[in-house]
Amino acid sequence: MSIHEECGVFGVYSPTPDAVAELVYYGLYALQHRGQEGCGITVNDDGVFVSCKDLGLVGEVFTPDVMARFPKGKLAVGHVRYGTTGGNDPANCQPIQVNHLKGKLALAHNGNLSNALHLRQDLELSGAIFHTTSDTETIAYVITRERITVPSIEEAVSRAMDKLEGAYSLVMMSSTKLIAVRDPHGFRPLCYGQMEDGTYIVASESCALQAVGARFVRELLPGELLTFDQDGVHADTSHCDTKPKRLCIFEHIYFARPDSVIAGVCVHDARLKAGEILAKAHPAEADIVIGVPDSGLDAAMGYAKASGIPYGIGLIKNKYIGRTFISPGQDHRVDQVRIKLSPIASEVAGKRVVLIDDSIVRGTTSGRIVKLLRAAGATEIHMRISAPPFLHPCYYGTDIDSEEHLIASQHTVTQIAQMIGVDSLGYLPLEELGKLVGSEEYCSACFSGIYPTPVPKDMRKDQFEQKLSHRSGS
């Protein structure tokens, strides 16, 4: 089991009709690390929405033939998905499109609503019919309901924010406007930039702005609503500073790309800092420091720098395998870790190794990596984790919905070390997390159990897809 984040969003507003689908395509490529189950693009061609979305990677779904079908337009939104609510079904791919009497709406969502089940039940009791099992459709319905009674889409979105709880960074478009929204806690990142021709770009991470040649302007404030239209950019900050800021700290530890800047902090620098902290908190006598590709590499560099132990490339990742790799057979005769990772024997043979990774979830993958290094001749393996132990479920967009799946909830550090076969094990101290981002305004609920919002009763990924025999009262 690996940690997954829900998705990445991307939006374009061009002052004149242009090949906006191509911009979204390149933006989604830059955000592919945030979601690899499915992807989608919707282009606004003078009020007519043209969409394509399906399961698969960006390059698989958007072939040259598919891209050629997109018209020019001023507006477009895109999405890459890893679902935390709703299964791996083409119907759950985004953007979600809604047609109603006051116009059209295409919506892309990064995050997870903690009150999705409650909202959906209320909507269904009042006559709403849902076509997906994603909480994104719930958001679209809430906005649409509000839009019927107010004069503008911005006001409808603002009213909807009063009803939504949890994590949501949204990019959406109406017939004439591009709108970007970040929840008042600011759980998930969202930023915008501008190209030389005046085109505005909204993206989950700044690396996607760079991919299309846009100049980074700034991040959206937690609770901010931005509207992009023919008159420029308009900000609604009425929801700002209404709740404590709680950016997910795991964005810097694992989710985001190293070249992105989030909350004013370069992700690469935050990971280097994590490695430095680990070296001081959990020193080891060793000959080499190596990282587990990809997010463990920066922390390994930091550990090596602080400890004085040489840094080396001890593991090579098969670059043609993404996070969604699935074995063709069901008997798993071949260890999938061996397909993804290969040790460099000349680097680790006969050496005491410090192995840096970003997390341990169940421990299965960690144990297999350790076996690979042992087989390659490593004499000692001291594992260091650039995050505290995962002890609690996450309700804000990370695929951890139960403590029973978390090895650290069931076992001590010493027991985990024995189970995965390492000579010693050390985690990043919980109290040191703030040093990664230079503030205490972050969410660490999956480590600490302190949640910024009310804890929902049911947050299983399949909460809207349960078999009849598993439903209460069935």
Query: Quick one: which H or E segment has residue 407?
Result: helix 407-410
Amino acid (1-letter code) at residue 284: A
Contact yes or no for 113/169 (Cβ under 8 A): no
pTM: 0.90
Q: Tell me the average pLDDT across 138-159.
A: 94
Report how many helices (DSSP H) and strands (DSSP E) the chain contains, helices first. Answer: 17, 23
Q: With a cut of 50, say whether residue 329 has pLDDT above it.
A: no
Summarised one tens digit per residue, pLDDT across range 263-275 is 999 999 999 999 9
CA distance 240 to 410: 39
CA distance 344 to 21: 42
Amino acid (1-letter code) at residue 375: A
Say what the pLDDT of residue 338 is. 83
* Strands ordered across the beta sheet of 166-173: 96-100, 103-113, 166-173, 178-182, 225-229, 232-236
Say what the pLDDT of residue 53 is. 96
Summarised one tens digit per residue, pLDDT across range 201-234 is 999 999 999 999 999 999 999 999 999 999 999 9
Least reliable range by pLDDT among 262-266, 317-321, 380-384, 442-446: 317-321
**91 vs 331, higher pLDDT:** 91
Q: Tell me the average pLDDT across 16-37.
A: 96
Say what the pLDDT of residue 471 is. 45
Q: With a cut of 50, say whether residue 254 has pLDDT above it.
A: yes
**466 vs 337, higher pLDDT:** 337
Q: With a cut of 80, say whether residue 473 has pLDDT above it.
A: no
Say what the pLDDT of residue 285 is. 97
Which is nearest to 343 in space by CA: 363, 371, 362, 379? 371
Say what the pLDDT of residue 327 is. 43
- Confidence grade of residue 459 (pLDDT, cut at 50, 70, 90): low
Say what the pLDDT of residue 89 is. 73
**331 vs 438, higher pLDDT:** 438
HSE (side-chain half, CA atoms, 13 Å) at 45: 12
Contact yes or no for 262/249 (Cβ under 8 A): no
User: What is the set of domains in the chain, with CATH numbers?
Assistant: 7-246 (3.60.20.10), 267-321+336-448 (3.40.50.2020)
Q: Tell me the average pLDDT across 406-427.
A: 96
Say what the pLDDT of residue 167 is. 95
Active-site annotation holder among 7, 191, 394, 446: 7
191 an active-site residue?
no
